[in-house]
Amino acid sequence: MKNIRPLSLLKNVKWGGWALICLYVSLFSGILVGIQYEHTTPYYSTASIDLIVPFGSYFRSLHFYSSQVFLLFAFIHLVFVYGETEKYTRGNWIQLISTLPIALLLLFTGYILRGDSTGSSAGIIAENIVLAIPLIGTGLNDLLFSITESGMRKVYLHHVISLDLLLLILLWSHLRKHRVFLKDNLFILSTAFCLPILILAPMEPEQLGVTYISGPWFFLGLQETLRYFSPLLAGVIAPSCFLMAIYLAQAKTPRNRFALSFIAIWLVFYAIFSLVAYFR
C-alpha cells in the first residue's frame, strides 16, 4: 500500500472553492453589519453592534473571520494551482493577481473602520504613507482615505462599495469558469458559521498610557520597517516591488524564476520584521 503524502492531500483540498464560499459569506455578513454601522462614530458604532444590536457581535465576527479566511485560502489556492497559470493570457493573469491587493485593502479598511486602537493607528499610518508619494500623494490620499479631514466616510464607502465591486469585477471571469455549490462545501460553510460562536472578532478598549500599538497581522512587517526606513521606501517602494514580482511570476515565463526568488526573499524578510513587531 502506497504512502499518501501530506502535500498530495493538501493539494486535493478544494482551496479555491473554500475561498469563494468564504467570500460569499463575507459579503452577506458585511451587508448585515454595514446596515448597523455609522461612520461618523466608528468606535461607538462598532461597540454598539457588539453590545446592543441583536446578534450583532455574531455577524461582525462572521464577517471578520470569513474575510480573513478568504484571503488565506485564496493565497493557498494560488500556490497549489500555480503550475496551471501558464495557460492564462498575460491580461488574465494580471487581472486575477490584482484581486490580491484589492482583498488586502478590503481587510485593511475593515480594521480601520473598527475605530479602536488598532484601527485608528493603522489609518493614520496608511494616510502618512500615501502622503509620502511624490506628486500624487495628496490626491491619492484624498481619494482613498482623507481620514484627518473627512473621518471614516471615504474609507467606509470604499469598504462597502468600490472595493467590493472592483474585486467582483476582477474575479468575474474566474467565477464564471469555476462555480461552487453549497451542497459540495457544507464542511467549510458550517465551520464558517460556527467559528464566530466560539471566538468573537477582536475589539480593543481604549487604553491610557499605551505607547505602542500593533496593527493588523498582515501589517506588522510594514509597521516595523517604518521604524527604520522612510514611509516612501518602506510603505510604497518595497510593497510595489513585491507586487511587480508577483505580476512577473506567471508560470513558465522568461522572468518567473527571478521573480519567484525575489518573492521568497521578500517574504522571509517580511516575516522576520513581522515577528519582531509581534514580540515587541
Alpha-carbon gap, residue 70 to 185, rounded angstroms: 14
In a domain, 2, yes or no: no
Chain centroid to CA 123: how far? 15
Residue 18: how many CA atoms within 13 Å on its side-chain side? 21
pLDDT of 109: 93
Q: Are both 181 and 275 inside the same structural domain?
A: no
Based on the fold, state whether residues 237 and 150 are members of the same structural domain: no
Same domain for 123 and 247? no
Domain count for the chain, please give it: 2
Q: Which residue has the higher pLDDT, 131 or 83?
A: 131
- In terms of Cβ atoms closer than 10 Å to its own Cβ (0-12, 13-18, 19+), residue 263 is middle
Assess whether pLDDT exceeds 90 at residue 277. Answer: no
Residues 74 and 185 in one domain: yes
Average pLDDT value for residue range 155-168: 93
Average pLDDT, the chain: 87
Contact 78, 189 (CB under 8 A): no
Tell me whether residue 1 is in a domain: no
- Is 106:167 a contact under the CB 8 Å cutoff? yes
Q: Inform me whether the pLDDT recorded for 206 exceeds 80.
A: no
On the question of pLDDT at 134 being above 50, the answer is yes
Query: How would residue 7 be classed by pLDDT, with cut points 50, 70 and 90?
Result: low
Residues 9-60 have pLDDT tens digits of 666 778 888 899 999 999 999 999 999 999 999 999 999 998 898 999 999 9
| Pair (194, 230) in one structural domain | no
36-50, 94-108, 112-126: range with lowest mean pLDDT: 112-126
Q: What percent of the chain has pLDDT over 70?
A: 93
Does 109 map to a domain?
yes
- What's the grid cell of residue 83? 503550475
**159 within 8 A of 113, measured Cβ to Cβ:** yes
Residue 101 to residue 162: CA distance in whole angstroms: 14
Q: Are 144 and 262 within one domain?
A: no
pTM to 2 decimals?
A: 0.88
pLDDT at 211 over 60: no
Q: Is residue 240 part of a domain?
A: yes
218-247: per-residue pLDDT in tens? 888 898 999 899 999 999 999 999 999 999
Q: Is residue 166 part of a domain?
A: yes
CATH assignment of the domain containing 95: 1.20.810.10
Residue 134 inside a domain? The answer is: yes
The residue behind cell 468575474 is 172
Amino acid at 165: L
Specify if 164 maps to a domain: yes
Could you tell me if 136 and 271 lie in one domain?
Answer: no
Domain co-membership, 267 together with 141: no
Domain with 50, as residue range(s), is 14-201
Residue 178 belongs to a domain = yes
152 and 248 share a domain? no
Give the DSSP letter of residue 252.
T
Distance CA 277, CA 218 (A): 11
